[in-house]
Every structure is written in structure tokens, then in C-alpha cells.
Amino acid sequence: MNDFNYTLIILYFVLLAFLSIYGSHRYYLAFLFVKTLDKEITPDKEFEKLPPVTIQLPLFNEMYVVERLIDSVVKTDYPKNLLEIQVLDDSTDETVEIVKARVKKYMDEGYDIKHIHRTNRSGFKAGALEEGMATAKGEFIAVFDADFIPTPSFLKRTVHYFTNPKIGMIQMRWGHVNRDYSLLTKLQAIFLDGHFVIEHTARNRTGRFFNFNGTAGIWRKETIINAGGWQHDTLTEDLDLSYRAQMKGWNFIYLPMYEVPAELPVDIIAFKSQQHRWAKGSIQTAKKLLGRIFRSDYPLKVKIEAVFHLAGNVNYLVMIPFSLLILPLIIVRTELDWNRWLIIDIPLFLLATTSISAFYLLSQKYIFQSWKSTFKYLPFLMGLGIGLSVNNSVAVIEALFGHESEFVRTPKFGVEMGHEDWTKKKYRAKRKLLIPSIELILGIYFTIAVYIAFINHMWLVLPFLILFQYGYLFIALLSIKSIIESSLKRRKLLKISSQKA
């Protein structure tokens, strides 16, 4: 063993230990979830007279889903004279005319519905919500993104929780109308279920801060104003406002028993773009608020959980050097008695990886009363998490160094059950080859690592290497395929346009 080898091994264990801390935290959240699962959440009482409510529908170029959204919202089981609907439309395409026609239809039927169309995207979604709130009549404000399908009973089932004057926001659980559309949507659904079932429940029921998810929630208007309003200096205005409101002393309630269906991205590039925005926004919020939180007199458990919650995406940044170290360590171990190291690194590796399996299995057990069907997806799930590390690391770096970028909405295509062909529809997330190329290189890198481990009979290490290999190759090849298909479609459209000209 020379100094270089020792340095590699020490650095490897430091990074693995860091990842294991976050793995242990997942176990802790799962423990808190189970511990508080039977805690009953009921309103203190019911309103004797129902309060006025405004439903805000922020959207930008959503021609495939906007009619579905508006149609579902007007079916809300609530007195017409107490319900206002604001369609906050920043669109620049056919969506504007679709909304105008739909809004006119329901206005003629006696609904208090307004089409508020901005000619600029100042502040993006936060700016639209802020502008709508300036004229909102409601004492409470419900928000739904364009791809959501709220049920008629959602408001009557939830509004009474606000009889407690300290309650500032209520969040409902996201459902997934196209969960079974593809392997990608299935994995996304399980990812989100873990967040909504385990994380939200554990945090909320143990007195820690949790967040409004930008949609499928209801705010007390006074809370938004008191917390400083919608601000657009981060890409996650919902997370930012949530923490500022709770820091002002407002209480939030999470209601996992009430599900609001929504559409998952079916395009890998759109999914990665969404993940990039969430990862970057959470780090921006951490930079903005963690200092204030630690200087406050909040309980220690609140401060610690805020770090795990807001800064958790740093894990992805750690995953890259950790990944790069694995191959040299495999080579070093071929020259050493590598079995003795398994006593240390296998327990650490299990903490860093199997906690993911336990975490998501538990969420599926809560939703479907069974987790058997989820087992077959676990390797793909862990691989997807690894594969996202390049995409999300870029997001973290951009946030840490203050690189500004616009709010890029996730395109939706009205895809629900079945296998509708969305590829012929317009809207595409920006497609660049740099990140998929890096992912492909890492996939090839781990293919080499798998080969070396195989010829040296490192059977215990092999499954973990295959996870990394699969994760990077899965993300890279899906991305490259999507980019090629999009490029071919663009060329075809240009050719048709030139022929018509």
C-alpha cells in the first residue's frame, strides 16, 4: 500500500460515510412515519358559514391539458357565490384562445371565472400567482398546476381545517393518472410517493417544517401576505414561501388521505428538466434561509431537518466523485486482500443504498396495502437515482455559484392511461447533448469496472457496480434517443414547411 492508494481509500470512505448519513436519515424518517401513522388528523370544528375561496390555475402553454383542468375545477362542490376561479395564463400559443373560449363558456353558465392573461412572464409562476392574489376575493387560495385534476369534493373535505386560526396552509397528496404508462412514469410515481407519503407525513406530524409543493394545496391569504408574499429569487417559490411562513409561526397540515391526480412527465428530457429545477431551487432556498433558521430559537430537530430537507440534493454532487473513485479502487483491490475491506464498506454501502428500498417499499405499502409488486422495480429505482446524479449535480453547482436561469415549466401532453403517442405533439424541453454524453461516458466507465470485478471474481461487489452501470446507461441512452427523435422530427417539419413554401 502506497500513499496514493491510502489517499484513494480514505477519500472513498469519507464520501461513502457522507452518503450513509443521508441513508440513515431515510431510515429515521421511515421510523417517524410508522410511529405517527395512527395519529388522527381532524378539523377542530366546521365553519358555520363557508368562507369565500379563490382557486388559482397558473399555466404557460398548456394546450393539451388546460381544458381538462378548467372542466374539473368548475365541478368543485362549493357554493357558486363563494367560489372564484382565476386562470393565470402566461401563454404565448394556442392555449390563450382555448382558455378564452372555455372561460366564456363557464362565465355564461354563471361561474365567477376570470382569464388573467399576462403579456410577459415577469417572476414566472410566482409573478402570476402574485398578480392574481392582488385581486383575489377569497379568504383562502387553492392552487392547481395545469396537469392536475382536482376532485369535486376536495374543497369541502379540507376547508374546515382552517377553522384553527393558526393553520396557514394545507397540502394534499399527489396521485398519478399515468403511473403505468411506461417504466419511466412508474419509477417517477414511486419516487414521488416516497416524498409525499413518508417525508411529508413524518415531518408534519413530528413538528418539523415541511413544504407546499406548488400545487394541490390551499393557503390562507393572510399567511401569504404575512410571510412576505410570493418571491421569485429562487426556482422553488413554493418551498421558499413555505419556510418563510412557518418561520413566522404559521402551522401547516398535510393530508395524505386526500389524493389529487396529476400527470407525470412521459419524456425523459422533461423529467430531467423538472428534477434540475427542483434540485437547483432547493439549494437556492437553503442559501437564502438556512442561516436565518440556525440563528433562530427553533427547536434543534427543526434546524437539523431543515438541513436534510433543503440541502439534500448535495448528495448528487457527492455521488460523482464517489462514482469516479470506484474503478481505481477496484484495480487497487486486485492487488490487495480486498475481502478485509468488505467488513467496513458493505455496511456503509447498504446504509447508503438499501435505505432507498425500505423507504419506497413503505410508501407503496401505505398507498396500495401491499409492496410485493414494487420489489421488481427496486433495482431500476436505485439505478435511476444514481443516473440523475450528473443532471442534478449541475443544478446544485449552478445554485451554489449563483447562476441564474429562467423557470422552465415541465411540458405535459394529456397522457393518461393506455399508450397514447405524445411524440407527435408540440412542446419539448430543451435538448442538449453535453449531460447525456457525460452520463454515457460514466456508463461505459462502469462497464469496465463490471468487467474487471467479474474477471477477478469480486462477486459481492458486482451487483453494486451493475447498479451504477445500469443507472448511467439508462438515463444516457433514453436521453440520447429522445434528442435524436426530436431532431429528426424537427428536420421533417422544416422539410414540409419548405415544400409548402
Q: 242-278: per-residue pLDDT in tens?
A: 999 999 999 999 999 999 999 999 999 999 999 999 9
pLDDT tens digits, residue range 25-72? 999 999 999 999 888 899 999 999 999 999 999 999 999 999 999 999
Residue 200 CA to residue 217 CA, distance in Å, equals 13
CATH topology of domain 51-151: Spore Coat Polysaccharide Biosynthesis Protein SpsA; Chain A (3.90.550)
pLDDT tens digits, residue range 157-212? 999 999 999 999 999 999 999 999 999 999 999 999 999 999 999 999 999 999 99
Quickly state the pLDDT bin for 341 (edges 50, 70, 90).
low
What are the two backbone dihedrals, phi and then psi, of residue 285, each rounded to the nearest 5 degrees?
-65, -40
What are the two backbone dihedrals, phi and then psi, of residue 60, each rounded to the nearest 5 degrees?
-145, 110
Query: In sequence order, which residues have a C-beta less than 8 Å from that of residue 42 and are 6 or more positions away?
Result: none
Half-sphere exposure at residue 154, Cβ-oriented, CA atoms within 13 angstroms: 29
Question: Catalytic amino acids?
Answer: 90, 238
Which residue, chain included where needed, has cell 429545477? 277
DSSP 51: P
- Average of per-residue pLDDT values in the chain: 91
Residue 399 CA to residue 280 CA, distance in Å, equals 5
Tell me the mean pLDDT in the region 107-134: 96
Residue 381 CA to residue 99 CA, distance in Å, equals 38
Residue 433 and residue 483 in contact, taking contact as beta carbons nearer than 8 Å: yes
Tell me the mean pLDDT in the region 378-384: 89
b/e string for 243-268 if b means 16 or more Cβ within 10 A? bbbbbeebebbbbbebbbbbbbbbbb
Where in the sequence of the chain do the CATH 3.90.550.10 domains occur? Answer: 51-151
Query: In sequence order, which residues have a C-beta less than 8 Å from that of residue 225 and are 6 or more positions away?
Result: none
pLDDT of residue 422: 74
pLDDT of residue 86: 98
Quickly state the pLDDT bin for 352 (edges 50, 70, 90).
low
pLDDT tens digits, residue range 293-336? 999 999 999 999 999 999 999 999 999 999 999 888 888 776 66
Residue 95 CA to residue 409 CA, distance in Å, equals 15
Quickly state the pLDDT bin for 359 (edges 50, 70, 90).
confident
SS3 of 206, please? coil
pLDDT higher than threshold 80 for residue 384: yes
Which residue, chain included where needed, has cell 467479474? 454
Tell me the mean pLDDT in the region 358-379: 88
Chain center to CA of 437 = 24
pLDDT tens digits, residue range 430-472? 778 899 999 999 999 999 999 998 998 888 788 888 989 999 9
Candidate from 235-239, 388-392, 401-405, 445-449 with smallest mean pLDDT: 401-405
Quickly state the pLDDT bin for 343 (edges 50, 70, 90).
low
Q: Three cell numbers at 53?
A: 375561496
pLDDT of residue 336: 62
Quickly state the pLDDT bin for 371 (edges 50, 70, 90).
confident
Query: In sequence order, which residues have a C-beta less than 8 Å from that of residue 24 and are 6 or more positions away?
Result: 351, 355
Residue 320 and residue 390 in contact, taking contact as beta carbons nearer than 8 Å: yes
pLDDT of residue 93: 93
What single-letter amino acid sits at 122?
A: S
Nearest to 129 by CA among 71, 169, 90: 90
One-character DSSP codes across 422-469 = -TTSS------SHHHHHHHHHHHHHHHHHHHHHHTT-TTTHHHHHHHH
Residue 390 and residue 435 in contact, taking contact as beta carbons nearer than 8 Å: yes
What percentage of residues in the chain have a pLDDT greater than 70? 92
pLDDT higher than threshold 60 for residue 369: yes
pLDDT of residue 488: 77
Q: Three cell numbers at 495?
A: 422539410
pLDDT of residue 409: 82
Quickly state the pLDDT bin for 498 (edges 50, 70, 90).
low
Q: Three cell numbers at 492?
A: 421533417
Per 3-state DSSP, the chain is made up of helix, strand and coil in percentages (nearest 5) of: 60, 10, 30
Residue 233 CA to residue 240 CA, distance in Å, equals 9
CA angle 355, 17, 305 (to 5 degrees): 65
pLDDT of residue 489: 73
